[in-house]
Structure formats: C-alpha cells, structure tokens
Amino acid sequence: MHLFPAALRQLDHDQRHTVLASFLGWTLDAFDYFLLVFVIGEIARDFHTDHTRVTTALFLTLAARPLGALLFGRLADRYGRRPVLMVDIVLFSLLELACAFAPSLGALLVLRFLFGIAMGGEWGIGASLAMESIPPSARGLVSGLLQSGYPCGYFLGAIAYWLVFDHFGWRGMFVVGALPALLVLYVRSKVPESPVWKAGQAGGGRASALAAMRGYWRRFLYLMLLMMAFNMFSHGSQDLYPTFLKSQLHFGTGEVTVLTMLLNLGAIVGGLGFGAWSERIGRRRAIVLAALLALPVIPLWAYGGSLLLLGLGAFLIQVMVQGAWGVVPTHLNELSPDAVRGTLPGFAYQMGNLLAAVTATAQSWLAARHGGDYAFAMSLWIAAVAVLLAALTWLGPEAHGVGFGGAGHGKGRS
C-alpha cells in the first residue's frame, strides 16, 4: 500500500525537497501572521486602546504585502527563486521577533507593516519555485498541499497560543515567531534552483517586466480582482474568529484553541481535496463549487449554539474556503508568462490582499454597529464574498495543464 498519492510518487528526490520547502515557507509565514490574531484583545489592553485600532496592524500587514511581492518577485526573476527565498524568510522572522519588543502601538504598527513587506514576498517565490520544478500532472495536488501550509500555520499559531500565551503573554508569542528563520538551513542544503528559471537564464531570456507583461495587463487586472475576493473570503472567515469566540461567546484559551484547530483541519482537508480534484474537473469549476458550498454552512459556523456544532461549522466552512484556495497556486502560475512567474502570481495575489486589507477592520466596525455581534458581521461578509468569488472565477480564463518554459504557454482557455 502506497503512503503517497500517485501525483507525489512521481516526484524525484529534489522535487520533493522543493515542494516541502515551499510548503514549510508558507506554513511558517502564515504562522507568524496569525500569532497576532490570538492576542488582539490583550494588546489593546496593554496599550490602552480598542480592538478596532489594533486590527489596523492586520490592515497594514496586508496592505504592505504587494510591495514585498513586487520587490522580492522581481529579485527572484532576476537572481533566482532559491537565494531570494532564503533572504525573505530570514527577514520576516527577524521582524516578527522585533514585534515582541514594541514599546507602543505605533511602533507595533510600523513593525507589522515592515513584516507585511517580507511576508508578501514568500508566497509568490515559493509557489513559482515549486510549480516550475514538478510535472504538470502533479500541479493540482501540490497546489492544494502548498496552500494547506496557510491553515497549517494558523494551526501552529493555535498551538503556540495554548502553550505560550498563559505563561509568557503576547510578547512571548512573537519571540516564538522567530523560529521560521531555521528553515533557511534546510533550503540552503536541500533545495535546488528552479529548472525553468535556469533554462531561461541559459537561453539569455531576460526580458524586462514591462516587455514580458505585454498582452497580459488585462489578465493582471482580472487576477488582482479575483485575489481580492479570495482574500476577503479567507481573512473574513479567519482573522476575527478568535475575537468572536472570546469577546462574544466568552470562551477561554482551551475552547479557542480546540475550535481553531478544527477550523484548520478543515482547511487542510479542503485545500488538498479541491486542489487534487481540480486536475479532473478543471481549476474554475473546483473554485466555484467550493465557494458556493460555503453558503449553506454559514449558519452552523456562526450560530451553532454549542461547542460541538460550532466545531463542526468551523471545520466545514474552512473545507470550502481553503478548498477554493487550494487551486490558487497552480491556477495563478498557469496563467502567468515564464519571464514574470516569480512576480506576477505573487503581485496579483498581494494586490488583491491590498484591496481586501480592510476586511478585519470593516467586520469589527460592522459588529460594533450591531452591539458587538461578530457572528452577524462575519456571516453577512462571507455570504456576499462567496457569491462574488464564484462569479469572478466563472467569468475568467483557465490554463489547466499549460506547459512552462516555452512548452506551449498560451493565453489560456476560457
């Protein structure tokens, strides 16, 4: 009996190390991002402010990510995926550590903005490195695996909250957030450079970003809007969830940890399942189905009424949210030309993040306008965004299985 699906068994030794490193990079990046969402209330108390002002840190992190995607993406297209990825990992780890010593809310906001720049570089570089290193038939499953790093990071954040917070407070959480820097040792020793990038360099193909993007600007604008909807979908279902559990339902550390773990288990199942399924039914169809299947789960997720039902709702909503997301790494890379694959997927993704960066603050404001009812704010938001995401995806292009490195890279099919 094989332990790995056929799509993973066909990968060679170097390809498996590349996929693992890309997965771990996104896992640890998300881990560092989500540490903040568990301690919004405690930071607000320490700095004598309200929750909404602290959520500005989430906004600034998301708003800064396009800068990092553009900066590190262009460096990766010019100097290679591997060395730039290592620099980026060290940078976001050190900035996370610095947050532990923030003397004021203003200083913390500045550090979270700088952290956002570093965070913005990781996803695009890691995804392009992995997708350019594996066979086309493995992209769907690997896409789901890579994107599952995001809920895995949230899951690790929940464990850190459970183990660290009661003993060392919110500052101790950020100290733990420096650990991802150790991943650089693994990347340096085990991960080769992208063969597609090396082939492009050997062929002397170093077109400017503007030249490489000729004919693709409409696609970039479309992908930016698509990723806005995707980020409103994920952040709208995750960022204020611990605050909802603590402030509205008055759950303690144990209940919050259990529900967050269930949420992220669902996300991992959804990312892997829909990512692999997209190889059979197509990228767009998999995304649309996942988005629309979230709608009937919303009442259970927000109004379950008991720990058991809330846990089931948390699990199922993230099967759908991250199920849709599981298709994103391969979908965006397949829709990107070779010369800017280090830049375009990540930049479109993070520009979408910028457009969606008000999500947590808007939900917090909406909840405050309804007597602190986070369940109402999150439910309304997710229902509207699920419909928007399904519509944008269905109207867009698809390039399922397209060749990389000049092997049949066209405009995609609709």
The pLDDT tens digits for 74-99 are: 888 888 888 998 899 889 889 989 99
| 140-181 tens-digit pLDDT | 888 888 888 887 888 888 888 888 888 888 899 899 888 888
Tokens encoding 67: 């800068």
| Number of domains, the chain | 1
Is residue 285 predicted with pLDDT exceeding 90?
Answer: yes
Kindly state whether residue 8 falls inside one of the protein's structural domains. no
Kindly state whether residue 143 falls inside one of the protein's structural domains. yes
Q: Which of 145-149, 158-162, 265-269, 292-296 has the highest mean pLDDT?
A: 292-296
Kindly state whether residue 405 falls inside one of the protein's structural domains. no
Is residue 101 predicted with pLDDT exceeding 90?
Answer: yes
Where does residue 396 fall: left (phi above 0), alpha (psi -120 to 50 degrees), or beta otherwise?
A: beta
Is residue 205 predicted with pLDDT exceeding 60?
Answer: no
The model's confidence at residue 212, banded by pLDDT at 50, 70 and 90, is low
**Structural domain of 382:** 14-192+216-395
Lookup result for tokens 């709702």? 313
In this prediction, residues 261-275 reach a mean pLDDT of 88
Kindly state whether residue 342 falls inside one of the protein's structural domains. yes
Kindly state whether residue 410 falls inside one of the protein's structural domains. no
Q: For the whole prediction, is pTM greater than 0.85?
A: no
pLDDT value of position 143: 86
Is residue 66 predicted with pLDDT exceeding 90?
Answer: no
Kindly state whether residue 129 falls inside one of the protein's structural domains. yes
pLDDT value of position 296: 96
Lookup result for tokens 């849709």? 324
pLDDT value of position 410: 40
The model's confidence at residue 387, banded by pLDDT at 50, 70 and 90, is very high
Kindly state whether residue 404 falls inside one of the protein's structural domains. no
Give the span between the Cα atoms of 260 and 245, in whole angstroms: 10
Kindly state whether residue 103 falls inside one of the protein's structural domains. yes
| 238-253 tens-digit pLDDT | 888 888 888 888 888 7
pLDDT value of position 260: 83
CATH code, domain carrying 357: 1.20.1250.20
Is residue 368 predicted with pLDDT exceeding 60?
Answer: yes
